């Protein structure tokens, strides 16, 4: 399912005043939540000592 679908549907159907703004907020909120969850997952999986060792070797060469 497309994460922007709920907010887009709300903006297109426009059942009440302010639905366009609410749809935009919902779309951005869902996208931001997915982004933050992905960043959180990536940071937990990252092995920082190996990254620093790689950078140290690359900069000292």
- Residue 61: per-residue pLDDT: 61
Domain ranges within the chain, ordered by starting residue: 9-60
Cβ 44 vs Cβ 25: under 8 Å: no
pLDDT tier, 50 (very low <50, low <70, confident <90, very high otherwise): confident
* pLDDT in the model for residue 2: 81
Dihedral angle at the C-alpha atoms of 14, 17, 20, 21, nearest 10 degrees? -160
Class of residue 10 by CB neighbours under 10 A (exposed 0-12, middle 13-18, buried 19+): buried
pLDDT digits (tens, 9 = 90+) for 20-32: 999 999 999 999 9
Number of H helices, E strands in the chain: 3, 0
> What pTM, to 2 d.p., does this model score?
0.68
- Please tell me the predicted confidence (pLDDT) of residue 57: 87
């Amino acid at each position: 399912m497309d994460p922007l679908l709920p907010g887009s549907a709300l903006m297109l159907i426009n059942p009440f005043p302010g639905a366009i703004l609410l749809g935009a907020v919902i779309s951005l909120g869902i996208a931001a939540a997915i982004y933050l969850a992905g960043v959180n997952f990536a940071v937990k999986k990252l092995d920082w000592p190996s990254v620093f060792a790689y950078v140290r070797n690359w900069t000292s060469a």
